[in-house]
Amino acid sequence: MTRLRTATAAAAGLLVATAIPLMATPHRAAASDNGRAVRPAMGWSSWSYVRRQPTEAAIEAQADALVSSGLARHGFVQVNLDDFWQKCDANGFQVDGYGRWSPDPAKFPDGIKSLADHVHAKGLKFGFYVTPGIARNAVLKNTPVEGTTYHAKDIADTSKTEKNYNCKNMYALDYARPGAQEFVDSWARQFASWGVDYLKIDGVGGQDIPDVQAWDKALRATGRPITFALSNNLPIDQATTWRTLANSWRTQGDVECYCGPGPSGSGYPLTDWAHVARRFDSAAAWQPYAGPGGWNDLDSLEIGNGDRAGLDADQRRSQFTLWSMAAAPLLLGTDLTRLDPVDRAMLTNDRLIGVDQDGIAAQRVVNSGAGQVWSKRESNGDRVVALFNTGTSGSATVTVDWSRIGLTGSGDVTDLWSGAHKGTVAGSYSAALRPGETRLIRVRPVDSRGTAVDR
């Protein structure tokens, strides 16, 4: 039986007991065979902090900071330009001569390729953003589909609109019509020519499987290795489909709280604990679908700017711990040009990064009120175990019996946040945790002679 003693229960002399059987991992669906995302992506994304005002200078500054801060040396190499890079008018997105979105020249005077070149010159990778469909302006102008005899009106289904968070005015593509796949192909070729290494397609739902299939096919046809990410709040009912077609998929809505003082809730704070804590349940539900080639994306990691991002230090460590236990992409959402030294130490902890990059999504083995325990078994037999107090008030002692994580006898314990070796612990492990605090340990099985073994 797994035990959790909260501060309140302890005062009353009560013991809350919850036993959760160890789950057998279901047969995992085949991952995308595009050769990308053998490990979860690591880097930075513009949405949380830069939000609706991305500029060439702002993105280049973040790329420069990834390198100068040392984060790139620890694996944070992705620089992702999210939404609002486009130019809009009263009818939606302005388009080029082939019906594809036009970059805003005021924000990107040297063009997207120049920005990608800057990122690549730093030894980093460049990510970009799109949503399904075809712009209304393309249909109004009946632009040709590059390299074909078809036009926008031949391929657009104007009875249906696609979700878009910026200029709106996106019609659906009818893939039963010749020219629709070729339109997506032309867009993918353009992105490849600009130097895109990672493409996020946003606003995707179950109805958009044909679009995801079309983009998967188009990206492969470019001949450029491009990681393919889906967003957001993907339905779990189609999890095996997302895994087959893409390299990551957002399991929930945005982690941002939109509670800042700026337009549309921009500015600090970027998030709050409630938005982070909601990821515990979704990470548990989606766990069977993560693995090399395809990852459960829990959204941006809001570490880098100290408490002002909306989480205290304990909560930031807990966010990093959950993301790492879930083997989720580690895409920072903060301002890296103003990196907090406490947060820099968190982000350059290679023991934590290694937990994420082992490519194993942990199972939740204890779920009792605010107390949770997650565990994964690594290839050498070590168990990595995270104990959480997800509450916002009241300390808690969280205990895990070794039997819950498939061990008998004793384990040799190392604290992964501090690096401290805790020695041999028999039977179970307990941690007294503040609200929002976590303890992350590596447990190596110990034989009857007290010798650590691979098991």
Angle between helices 112-121 and 56-68 (to 10 degrees): 10
Other C-beta atoms within 10 Å of 248: how many?
Answer: 30
- Say which amino acid occupies 128: F
Rounded distance between C-alpha atoms, residue 159 and residue 136, angstroms = 12
* Residue 352: C-alpha distances to residues 23, 167, 310, 325 (Å): 24, 39, 21, 9
Q: Find the catalytic residue in 82, 154, 197, 202.
A: 202
Rounded distance between C-alpha atoms, residue 399 and residue 167, angstroms = 51
Q: Give catalytic status of residue 343 as yes or no.
A: no
Q: Tokens 């995707």 sit at which residue?
A: 204
Residue 356 φ then ψ, to 5°: -70, -45
Q: Give catalytic status of residue 202 as yes or no.
A: yes
Secondary structure in 3-state letters for 335-376? CHHHCCHHHHHHHCCHHHHHHHHCCCCCEEEEEECCEEEEEE
Q: Could you give the strand order of the β-sheet that contains 170-173, starting from the edge strand earlier in sequence? A: 134-135, 170-173, 156-161
Rounded distance between C-alpha atoms, residue 182 and residue 187, angstroms = 9
Element (H, E) at 201: strand 198-201
Other C-beta atoms within 10 Å of 427: how many?
Answer: 13
Rounded distance between C-alpha atoms, residue 37 and residue 246, angstroms = 9
Q: Could you give the strand order of the β-sheet that contains 16-18, starting from the edge strand earlier in sequence? A: 16-18, 2-6, 396-401, 428-433
Q: Find the catalytic residue in 117, 157, 254, 307.
A: 254
CB 146 within 8 A of CB 136: no
* Residue 303: C-alpha distances to residues 319, 320, 334 (Å): 9, 8, 6
Please, which residues have CB within 8 angstroms of residue 75's CB and are 6 or more apart in sequence?
42, 353, 357
Q: Which tokens hold the place of 243? A: 């895994």
CB 52 within 8 A of CB 128: no
**Which residues are marked as active site?**
202, 254
